[in-house]
Structure 1
Amino acid sequence: MTLSEISKLEQAISALEENRPLLGDAVVDSALTPLRERAVMLRSAGDMEQHRKIATVLFADLPGLAAFTERVDAEDLRDTVNALWERLDAVILAHGGRIDKHMGAGVMALWGAETVEEDDPEQAIHAALAMKVACNEFCSSTPLLAGEALSLRVGINTGAVIVGRVGTTAELTALGDTVNLAARLNQAATPDQIMITYDTYRLVRGIFDIELLPPLQVKGKSELVQCYLIQCAKPRAFYILSRGVEGVETHLVGRENELNSLQQAYLDLFSRRQPQIVTITGEMGLGKSRLLAEFLTWTDPRSEDYFLFQARSAPSQITSPYAFLRELFLFRFQIQDSDPLITVIAKMERGFAQMMPGDPNSREKAHIVGQLIGFNFAESPFLPALLADPHQMRSLGFVSLTRFFAAAASVYPVILLLDDIHWADSASLDALRYVFNNLPAQTPLLAVCITRPELDERLPDWRDSLKRAAHVYLRPLSREQSRALVQEILQKVQALPSALRELIVVGAEGNPFYLEELVKMLIDGRVIQPNADIWSVDLRRLDALSIPPTLAGVLQARLDTLDGQERVSLQRASVIGRVFWQQALEVLTPVPENESQSLNISLAALRAKELIFPNPISTFSGTQEFAFKHAILRDVTYETVLKRQRAQYHALIAEWLQQASGQRRSEYLSVIADHYEKAGENDRASLALREAGEQALSVSAFSEAFRLFQRALSLLAPERRRDVIFVQLKISEVFFRSGEYADALKYSEQALQAARELSVGDLLASAMYQVGQIYGEMGDYPAAEALLGEALRLTQAQSGSVVRARLLYGLGNTEWRLGKVESAHQHCSESRDMAAQAGDVYTFLLALNRLGVLAGLMGNPAEEERLYQEVLTRATAAGDRERAAIALNNLGALADEHNDLQKSQQYYRQAMQLAREIGTQQSLALYLLNLGHCLVRMGDLDRACEHLREGLALSDHLGAGPWMLMAVIFFARLEAARGNTTRALELLGLAEKHPAYSIDHQRLKEQMLAEWHLDDEFILQHMTRGATLEWRATFTQLMLA
């Protein structure tokens, strides 16, 4: 086809028209028809050459239809098949496709023929999956087709096509090798299969479950074609983004050894079936995410089955307790942030049941974990006692998480991909460390943790505290590796000037991300000019281009090349965060500009320039979610937003998040607070931070709670004295519950002084209670008694309140420690009754248990046992395992005192079982030692030794000095029972010199010596010798006893 041929045809047509009067209409029309058809065809071909596009082509057909036509009436079949294709065509159109043509029992559809979208390949595959479902549903519901095997087969390919209008009807179609290959794949597929090429696969990997097929011999192709089968869509998929420039995909350079390490860990997961943790540490831009993407690309088509959990943290989550851990379950169970709470509960319950098929208590564990990670499961029937006891909530939550992953791994191996954990909140990292270190040895679980060195600065012991962990450190690329990467990116430049290559290599300093952005900057500056097949270089333009010395500078230079609307859209998006939503962006867009088409054009342009990427599933339904390509790109963009505009935007986004999160607002509190703070609305920010701090405290996330309350305090104006006192008391509570009594006392005394000056009764009583509690734990019982008594008098009018019930218990407990048994009994009795009236189960059980102890001191063992039994019954009914375990231990000790050793060991074993269930290690150590001591008295010395050793090892691990001393004293009784009184006395002497030796240990020692009837001089001699023994050496000997 040439322009001269079209010109000749036009001249001939013109000549015929001029001679119409001479030749007549019939002759002219007859001659013109073929000439005009030829001209249309040639023009169409010309148009098509000018419309070369990247499109995704789908061919689908029903291979079983031909055999079926022989047995069915043709007219009936025609109507039924037409109805079927109407349904299947609707599916194609609903997924953004265009029906190209129907051919017999098949269809050809196009994505990208008119408007190219980045997710065209993904939408084509989603359409194919939906077509299979629609076909099966139609056949099963249509009598004529019932029982017939009319399964759909599909072939899909992506690549360059010629798009244009052909024929006399000028229909838009696509031609070319891409179309032919899609048709060949359709013919090669078997019924019910969806087959795709590599060119489609590389654009959708990570989004679907895919099976790698052996290379296929295709007609018309000299080389074998790599194909893949689509199985289904992955839950809450993450894109596996290939690093490259202008659509040129690059191979992994300089990270082959690291990739091999990950691949070997994957293979070991299935062969050795043991827990493994691999941490990959590298500075920003060194290729951590690319390495992870290559690993996923390698695993994606493999045949092994596994459960995948994936999470990526962000700077805004660092003070949100368990936010990172929550991301794992959002991903796995496809929970959207806009899902109502009832839907979240259902998804958690269903997910736990599926992954813990043998556990009848999976629903309870789902509720416990859900509450721990920030979903509001407060109405759950399993949680009343735990909500009042954050320590137990945390312990049981960690144990439930560990059992969940262990159970899931017994079904299929588990892979956790944890990205950017340097921004993860401390509570999530504590939970993950507990899970990793407490999984059974034969649990097939692989965790890959991606981090920057900042994690070591923030939590220096986190990585080193992990069992079975391997650490991979990414270094900058060498000069040779950088040159190889430049060559990869610029592979379409036929003769790459060495000067340009070295400019890029030297400027990037071994940082792959920096290197790519430099290349993109050179493309923006037209130094490098991409074309369809061959790229050119214009070095003359390099002189006018200033190469910034930093990555931030290069990114800034790229921002400067954006047009006005693109730049403004990106700036507004940066205010929302690295992840942002189109609906939120619309809130920031002034009404005159807020045309969806205008914003869509800007977002499409930013996607085309690889500055942002769409996420396949949005955390908020009904709106598209996007992410900046890199965190530093978001930060650089944010710095270009005028400060007065920032404040306005942050206020609007805070309000949008409040509305969009709905019932799930509690999960976004710290993010909402960040926006309010940056908007200058300090009061609203402080209020949100206080709510977030309370939430953190409720799950014992102490470091997050402290940071949240501290920020809330810093935002309060001095005149907001009530609020200041409240927050100071909350900070004190954080320190108190984490055992840091000196800091707790500092904040609570400040609050107490301010409350006295303000003379506000409720705040003053709360401050007195807090200071009194701390005095008690620090051993200053008289001061505690005085302050708690004063607070009690202040609250005399608050009969039935939770505050007064707790004050009564605090005072009674202090009096018990002071030996004031009668008044202690009176106050604990009042506390019990008032807590019951107020519905405070936690305080009720504390008071009831203390009344049991007091009954024993008052010489009423029957009442003591009755009260312990009541604690056990009520704690069990309330789901308070920790209180139930304490009651069992107390019942065991009471039976021990009355020499009912059989009953005693039964109680201790039940207490141990509960302690193991809820993960209370310190309590478990005590119960192990008590059981060991009981078995010594029963004469079962071998089993006694086993339990004493386990209890001693656990006490040492926890640093529980009083428990370690008790273990040594119990070992002394064991040695005496073995007939080795000399060794027994030496152990008592060793214990006596320990700094943690107390009156309780002294009483136990005196009881033993009275039982042994030894000579005083003999006792003194060997106890004195024992006092010279070295503690650690003796500990080692006992562990081998």
Structure 2
Amino acid sequence: MNAEAEQLQAAIAALQAQRALLGDAVVEVALAPMRARLATLQQTTEAQQLKQVSILFADIVGSTTLTRQLDPEEVHAVMDGTLAHFTAAVQAQQGRVLQYAGDSMLAVFGAHAAREDDAERAVRAALAVLRGGARQGEWVRQQHGHEGFNVRVGVHTGPVLLGGGVDGDGTIRGISVNIAARLEQSAPPGQLRISQATWQQVRGLFVVTAQPPLAVKGVDEPLVSYLVQAERPRPWRDEARGVAGLATPMVGRQHELQQLQQALRALGAETSSPAARCVLVVGEAGLGKSRLALEFERWLAALPAPPTVLRARAVPQNGEQPYSLLRTLLADWLQIHETDASALACSKLEAGLVPLFAADQGSDLAQAQAHVLGYLLGFDFGDSRHLAGLREAGGALRSRAFHVAAQALRRGAAQAGTPLVLLLEDLHWADDGSLRFFKQLLQVNADLPMLMLGLTRAALFERQPRWPADRPADDGDGAAVPCIQRLTLQALDAAGCQLLAEGLLQRLPGAPAELLGLIVQRAEGNPFYMEELVKMLIDEGAIVVPAGDPSAPDAAPWQLHPERLRLDRVPVTLTGVLQARLDSLAASDRASLQRASVIGLQFWDEALAELDAAAPRSLPVLMLRQLVREQQATVLAQAQAFGFAHQLLHQVTYDTVLKRVRTACHLQVGNWLAGLASARANDLLGLAASHFERGGEAERAAEFYTRSAEQLSTRFAHDTVVTHAGRALALASPDDHALRWRALLVRQRSLRLQGRMPEQAADLDALTVAAEALDDDQRRATVRLRRAVAAASAGDAKGCVAACAEALSLAQHGGAHDVTLSIYSAWAGALLSLGRYDEARRVSEDGLALARQRGNQGMESELLTGLAAGASQQGDALRAIAWLQQCLQIDREIGRRINEGPVLVNLGDATMRLGDFEAARGHLQDALQLARATGDRNVQAMCLLNLASVTHLMGEHATALGHARAARQLTAEVGNREYEAFAWMSLGHAEAGLGHADEAREAYAHSRERLLELDLPHLALEADAGLALVALAEGDVGAALAHLEALLAALARGDALDGCEHPLWMRLTAVQVLRQAGDGRAAAQLAEAQSALQTQADAISDAAARQRFLQQVPHHRQILALAAADG
């Protein structure tokens, strides 16, 4: 409203206040001309407006010739049909047709409600016009035999005057109209020409070709223009940040930008190191991470051969939805939109992924790869035959899906022939599953020219301190480690703040120093805070931006109204800035934004309508005010997603909602989410629970948190399982023992697999209480079984045996057959650790008979694995391998890959004992990958321990040392004392192999001490042998003999040394020490060692395998050499 209108309103209000004094008649007479003038001013204001629009001119080529060849009715049908198509194309992109002139059309975008993508919509509509024109031309040729019918289009973006002319609201004036017309007239038939002004707004979104300068009447300089060929398969977009229409330089981040540019240039430049690189840009909210990424993307887009760029952004409410960030990345790549129906989304996923695998894997397996990945990410592939047996094997499913995703990205990049850039925004809100994938991606694609650029706050490293590093550098498994670089953004210094403030107020001539100082002071070095403060001043009218294109070189300067600059409204923090912006909204719009904030940082239009049917009407206003924006990725295909411009804006808005309103809205949203009936609804169980919790419905919240934990447990999302189960337990009634049982059961398992032993022990106590309260023997048996497994995980084999005995009695009494089978498996494993092989075999055989009777193939495989482990430890590696191969066949037939990890570990151990070290290493590396996928840290430790043994026997002592150190760290973290003792043993072997006597002695001593504490003296004998060998190497024969005292006594008793990792090496060590001491027992011990070796060798029927067994294992070779020397 202009100044005259405001003065008239004030005068009218003053007269209205004098009615009592002057009387109604006098006041009405005086008010009549004032009201008439105000109405005229308001009508003029509404009818005419100066603003920037994108203008589209379309013209039919060849219409004159067509008119001469066809009769008027036929011409009418062709022309009207073509113009009707033009109109539909414009309206589909929310444009408005202003004029038709014979065979041409004029349309504008942004006439009624300006959008930031008006130019993009205009170009898309123009391309649609061309496509329709081509179809119409072919129809004219077929129907009328007329050649040459075509269409050409021109688009320009610039300032115009709309409305107020003889054509009413269809009037448009200004040089921009002439430029658009000239662009259309000069465009070749069938093509689109756009101006540079339009190109600047759609740069990167379309394939364009620059054209020679074009002379336009009324324009001094020749016009730069472009022919648009097509829309890019994956559009590149600017972030909607900064003050609209104002170009400000990036301040204080030039060094970081150069670092990013160098990172891209370095891809593939260093052939001796992995090609993949990761750069993490770390900084708190508003410090310029997004602006830095935007400038980097602009630089990428301007390269002669731009790389392939894929983007994904995490949001807080998806942090508890596993793999949501990975899903967003794939959706961005494959153009899967939130509005796509489930079937269409699945079809797009297949169409994008299957061709990448079909060439070398065949169409059926390629389809299976797409279905596995899609199912993990929540696409509706639940009925796919390719998922048979995988649905219940969450870890195996995830492992395979991760492999598919990594290979898809690799193959896609190879197909494109350019480096791959992954831009991952707001990683501090990313879900753990996606973080795990991207960490793994860097490892498996280490040789790929790939740059992973992550934007994050420091909070990410509170959750995962080393991300994306997978493990310490001395892990030692030989895996390639990509270059990982961290760039930490700091607040702008005083000079940078001043420069940015001046840039933001560049259109305000003579900006007062106190205003600049105020912006600098309140922003405290945060660029986003500065931008938001200036926006607020504009919103409130303290700074007025004249109509027209504010980015044009000749744009009118801004105007400052000091009387409206209320210093008490200038916030001291960003919260104040954002609250002030909220207060400037109309009441209905502010209420709509508040209700949206209850839904979350990301919200859906349907959910907003659930809270208030009229609320979605405010969304265009809120988007225009840059408070919310549309989003292209959501878990719900049937609803349009929106997001707050920033998380802090969302939080400030949420804090303005009254508690009673907030509570009621949360409950409504929870009910809405709970009522969703789609294939992806399970991904929202945790979100529904959160809303129920804040809506005061504790019992329903507890139920939904429990459901979410149970569902996520099948996908091995352990961190989220623990969080959701914990919330359920906090909210559940103390008397709701059934619900508490469910939550505790799922949490205890995840805690144990993560090695969080004290916490899982507390859950076991709570489960005991719940089982007693429910008076259920099957639950009692389950708790005892869980205690047994926990004891085994802690290295307490005796405790495991005792718990199994208690559990078995309860399970058999309650008829819990599945629990009984699991008890047999745990019991047999503990007996093996104790060296009670006959008992272990009997327990395994009893369990195996019951498993086969019950038809439980999964437990049959598990119990066979136990039998195989016992056979291997007693020197019968061949029988162990035969059983383990049966296990693999069973597991793969039923799709139970979760058991493959332990099977492969035992297979690696057995093949190692036979001297087939390469095969053993392969089995163990496969097992390690599976264990990491399932999150089972104890199995990971087993893999590392065996890898240390294999590489030690291969003479790769440095590698063995790395594995042993990683195993020691891991076993200490999970609290498995038995495995930790073995890790110290492996360290001793590796250090001894490297000639580090002091380190080896210390490691062997630690191992011996821990094994004796665990009451496993038969296993401590191997540490004694190690200590003896170290003493012998130092020339201390007496000390060596002293260390061997217990071992020699065991050998004299005829002990077989079953359970020890290297029993023949222990015998060899005894021989070597006795020979150096001149002890006559040496000859007898050598003969026994040779006899034991030969007995095992004779059992190997294959000559080559037998020879490998005798010659590849170092201590076997040494025993034979000593025997031969003694003749």
TM-score bracket, shorter-length normalisation = 0.7 to 0.9
Deviates more, 1:507-516 or 1:487-496: 487-496
How far does residue 200 in structure 1 lie from its aligned partner after superposition? 3.2
Separation in 2, partners of 1:925, 1:149: 73
Question: Per the alignment, do residues 411 and 224 of structure 1 end up closer, same or farther by CA in structure 2, a change over 3 Å counting?
Answer: farther
Instruction: Give the whole-Å Cα distance in 1 for the aligned partners of 2:742 and 2:156.
Output: 64
Structure 2 match to 1:552: 575
- Is the aligned partner of 1:681 residue 2:686? no
Cα gap change, 1:243 to 1:777, in 2 (>3 Å):
closer
Corresponding residue for 2:300? 299
Q: Are the aligned partners of 1:209 and 1:233 in contact in 2 as well (CA < 8 Å)?
A: yes
Indicate the residue corresponding to 2:424 in structure 1: 418
Question: Among 210, 213, 223, which residue is 2:210 paired with?
Answer: 213
Please say if residues 340 and 663 of structure 1, whose CA atoms lie closer than 8 Å, have aligned partners that are also in contact.
no
* Residue 403 of structure 1: aligned partner: 407
Question: 1:530 corresponds to which residue?
Answer: 545
Distance apart, 1:79 and its partner CA: 4.9
Change (3 A) 1:493 1:853: closer
1:149-160 pair list within 5 angstroms: 152-160=151-159
Whether the aligned pair in 2 keeps the contact of 1:395 and 1:919 (CA below 8 Å) is no
Report the AA paired with residue 407 of structure 2: R
Compute the displacement of 1:635 (Å).
Answer: 0.8
For 2:535 and 2:311, the matched residues in 1 are separated by: 30
% identity of equivalent residues:
29
Kept after mapping to 2: 8 A contact 1:49/1:162:
no
- 2:331 corresponds in structure 1 to 330
Change (3 A) 1:383 1:916: farther
**Superposition deviation, residue 641 in structure 1:** 0.5
Q: Do the aligned partners of 1:552 and 1:636 also contact (CA within 8 Å) in 2?
A: yes
Cross-structure match for 2:513: 498
> Which shows bigger deviation, 474-483 or 703-712?
474-483
Q: Distance in 1 between matches of 2:634 and 2:453?
A: 24
Work out whether residues 911 and 927 of structure 1, in 8 Å CA contact, stay in contact via their aligned partners in 2. no
Q: Tell me how far apart the structure 2 counterparts of residues 303 and 683 of structure 1 sit (CA, whole Å).
A: 60
Q: Distance in 2 between matches of 1:323 and 1:1019?
A: 65
Contact kept in structure 2, 1:888 and 1:907, CA below 8 Å: no
SS in 2 for 1:157: strand
Assess if the C-alpha contact under 8 Å between 1:337 and 1:664 holds in 2. Answer: no
Taking the aligned partners of 1:847 and 1:709, their CA distance within structure 2 comes to: 31
Contact 2:312–2:329 (CA under 8 A) maintained in structure 1:
yes
- Do 1:56 and 1:124's aligned partners in 2 also have CA atoms closer than 8 Å? yes
Structure-2 separation of matches of 1:323 and 1:520: 32
Residue of structure 2 in register with 1:633 after alignment = 649
1:704 is matched with which residue? 720
> Matches of 2:125 and 2:565 in 1, distance apart?
46
Q: Distance in 2 between matches of 1:382 and 1:712?
A: 34
Report the Cα offset of residue 796 of structure 1. Answer: 2.7
Contact 1:210/1:300 (8 A) holds in 2: no
Please tell me whether the aligned partners of residues 368 and 383 of structure 1 are also in contact (alpha carbons under 8 angstroms). Answer: yes
> CA contact under 8 A between 1:61 and 1:154: conserved in structure 2?
yes
- CA displacement, residues 506-531 of structure 1 (integer Å, 9 cap, x when unaligned): 33222222222322333344332332
Q: Would the aligned equivalents of 1:211 and 1:229 in 2 still touch at CA under 8 Å?
A: yes
Task: Tell me which amino acid in the other structure corresponds to 2:543.
Answer: I
Deviation, structure 1 residue 644: 0.6
* Stretch of structure 1 that moved more, 531-540 or 560-569: 531-540
CA distance in 2, matches of 1:547, 1:302: 42
- Displacement after TM superposition at 1:427 (Å): 3.4
Aligned twin of 1:130: 128
- Give aligned pairs, total: 947
Q: After superposition, what is the alpha-carbon deviation per residue over 1:274-298, rounded to whole angstroms, capped at 9, x for unaligned?
A: 3222222222222222222333344
Partners of 1:234 and 1:683 in 2: CA distance? 50
1:355-434 mapped onto 2 (5 Å cutoff): 355-356=356-357, 360=361, 362-373=366-377, 379-381=383-385, 383=387, 387-412=391-416, 413-434=419-440
Task: Tell me, in whole angstroms, the C-alpha distance in 1 between the residues paired with 2:815 and 2:600.
Answer: 49
Q: What do residues 157-216 of structure 1 show as CA deviations (whole Å, max 9, x unaligned)? A: 22211223656x76823232222222333345445544433443454457x344473774
**Matched-pair contact (CA < 8 Å) for 2:596–2:603:** yes
Q: Structure 1's 342 and 547: CA in aligned 2 closer, same or farther, altered over 3 A? A: closer
Superposed CA offset, 1:994-1039 (max 9, x none): 52774595645541354589453456799xxxxxxxxxxxxxxxxx
Counterpart amino acid of residue 637 in structure 1: T
Q: Does 1:727 align with 2:761?
A: no
Q: Which residue of 1 aligns with 2:442?
A: 436
- Residue 469 (structure 1) aligned with residue 495 (structure 2): no
Amino acid paired to 1:331: D
Matched residue type, 2:606:
Q
What are structure 1's unaligned runs of at least 5 residues? 1-42, 937-943, 976-982, 1023-1041
Query: In 2, distance between residues paired with 1:806 and 1:327?
Result: 39
User: Is structure 2 residue 459 aligned with structure 1 residue 459?
Assistant: no
Quickly say closer, same or farther: Cα 1:707–1:281, change in 2 above 3 A: same
Q: TM-score, normalised by structure 1?
A: 0.80
Distance in 2 of aligned mates of 1:112 and 1:1009: 85
Distance change in 2, residues 1:887/1:267 (3 Å)? closer
Q: Which amino acid aligns with 1:588?
A: L
Structure-2 separation of matches of 1:236 and 1:736:
44
2:801 pairs with one of 782, 785, 791: 785
Written as runs of structure 1 = structure 2, the 5 A alignment for 1:499-514 is: 499-514=514-529
Q: Which amino acid aligns with 1:159?
A: G
8 Å CA contact 1:235–1:332 kept in 2: the answer is no
- Residues 774 and 389 from structure 1, CA distance in 2 versus in 1: closer, same or farther, beyond 3 angstroms? farther
- Matches of 2:360 and 2:1078, distance apart in 1: 57
Q: Is the 8 A contact 1:57 1:179 kept in 2?
A: yes
- What is the DSSP-based 3-state SS (H/G/I as helix, E as strand, rest coil) of the residue aligned with 2:716? coil
2:283 maps to: 282
CA RMSD of aligned residues (A): 4.2
**Worse-matched range after superposition: 303-312 or 921-930:** 921-930
**1:736 is matched with which residue: 752, 760, 767?**
752
**Counterpart secondary structure, 1:814:** helix
Letter in 1 for 2:354: A
1:879-911 residue CA offsets vs partner (Å, 9 max, x unmatched): 5567557656756766776x6x6xx56853763
Displacement after TM superposition at 1:313 (Å):
1.8
> CA shift at 1:640, angstroms?
0.9
Q: Within 1, Cα distance between the matches of 2:682 and 2:598?
A: 21
Counterpart-to-counterpart distance in 2, 1:893 and 1:667: 40
Matching residue's letter, 1:417: L
| Residue 607 of structure 2 is aligned to residue 584 of structure 1 | yes
1:206-235 residue CA offsets vs partner (Å, 9 max, x unmatched): 7x3444737744434434545455555567
- One-letter code aligned to 1:845: S
1:565-604 alignment runs, 5 A limit? 565-589=588-612, 594-595=613-614, 599-600=616-617, 602-604=618-620
- Match in the other structure for 1:33: none
1:755-802 superposed Cα distances (whole Å, 9 cap, x missing partner): 234422332222121112112233433432333233333333665853
Distance 1:433 1:852, change over 3 A: closer
Residue in 1 that maps onto 2:88:
90
Q: Kindly indicate whether residue 269 of structure 2 is the aligned counterpart of residue 253 of structure 1.
A: no
CA contact (8 A) 1:313 1:424 kept: yes
- 1:59-78 pair list within 5 angstroms: 59-61=57-59
Which AA in structure 1 matches 2:432?
A: S
| Counterpart contact for 2:339–2:639, Cα < 8 Å | no
- After superposition, the Cα gap between the structure-2 partners of 1:493 and 1:817, relative to the gap in structure 1 and judged at 3 Å, is closer
Distance (whole Å) between structure 2 residues aligned to residue 216 and residue 485 of structure 1 = 35
Partners of 1:955 and 1:211 in 2: CA distance: 58
Q: State the partner residue of 1:608.
A: 624
Report the 3-state secondary structure (helix = DSSP H, G, I; strand = E; otherwise coil) of the residue aligned with 2:678: helix
- 1:231–1:709: structure 2 CA closer, same or farther, 3 Å change rule? farther
Letter in 1 for 2:1073: D
Task: Report the alpha carbon displacement of residue 556 of structure 1 after superposing the two structures with TM.
Answer: 1.6
Does the 8 A contact of 1:62 with 1:151 survive in 2? yes
Separation in structure 1 between the aligned mates of residue 153 and residue 852 of structure 2, nearest angstrom? 67
Matching of residues 136-175 of structure 1 within 5 Å: 136-139=134-137, 144=142, 152-164=151-163, 172-175=170-173
Change (3 A) 1:1005 1:896: closer
Cα distance, 1:498 vs. partner? 2.8
CA contact (8 A) 2:328 2:633 kept: no
Deviation at 1:408, TM superposition (A): 2.9
Report how far residue 648 of structure 1 moved: 0.9
User: Whole-Å Cα distance in 2 between the matches of residues 656 and 92 of structure 1?
Assistant: 35
